[in-house]
Amino acid sequence: MSDTPSILQPTDHPAPMPLVTRFHLLIFSVTLSITAVALFRIPADFLFQAHWHATNADWLWPRGIALSVAPAIQAVLLIAFFLLGRALTKNHFAKTQHILDPALSFFLAVPAVYQLGLLFIGIGSDLDIIRGEGYILGAALGFIGLVLFYAERHSYGGLRLPWPIRSDRGWFLAHRLTGLATSLVGLLTIWMAWTDPGPAILALSYASALILLPTIAAIVSLAVHRV
């Protein structure tokens, strides 16, 4: 037997627990329940006014297509986070779980509330949940942006990405730029909800905001890491 230590240390094994928890599955189940109620209450030939120009709708969503968007997005998120959790090492899992867990909950909650908004539209309610969600989402992103902007370096705080930000200056720049971008996206989301271009455009803007921000964080942190 060789005395050379193994390349694979204990912390290199996959994480023992997945990132997807019962709470995340509960949110998904709630969305499916809302979808079932909507299919029962909304006529099969109902068309959602997905986008309007001036006072006329120029984009219509059939009931089946509109109601399939939110569950499909959630299913993709659950699969992606499950695979991510299995790919992380024990050490990295321990350092990122407290951030990735609520992040997944947040990502799943957005389409769940949107689905509830479609249900209210389909039954003829005047309560515009989808626009209200935009205000809440924008405010949440603005708050997260401020937290990132003023965050101090900490082993378990700030951006948690596969690559480390080694220098204090790089960590400072990454969080300032990411925090500023997050706050700006939050303000843009609020503006989109205020102008109300239609449920479909709002859905695309919400999804774009949630996809864009991790992308910006990854690009900025990777750039300062390499520098």
- CA dist 138 and 22 (Å) reads 27
Amino acid 172: pLDDT: 73
Cα separation, 225 vs 26, in Å, equals: 37
Per-block mean pLDDT, blocks of 10 residues, the chain (227 long): 44 59 94 95 86 68 89 91 80 74 89 94 88 92 83 62 64 79 91 87 86 77 65
Strand, helix or coil for residue 155: coil
Q: What is the pTM of this model?
A: 0.77
- Kindly state the helix (H) or strand (E) to which residue 56 belongs, with its residue range: strand 56-62
| Integer angstrom CA distances of residue 15 from 25, 104, 208 | 19, 17, 30
pLDDT of residue 163: 57
pLDDT at 10: 45
pLDDT at 128: 87
Contact 142, 183 (CB under 8 A): yes
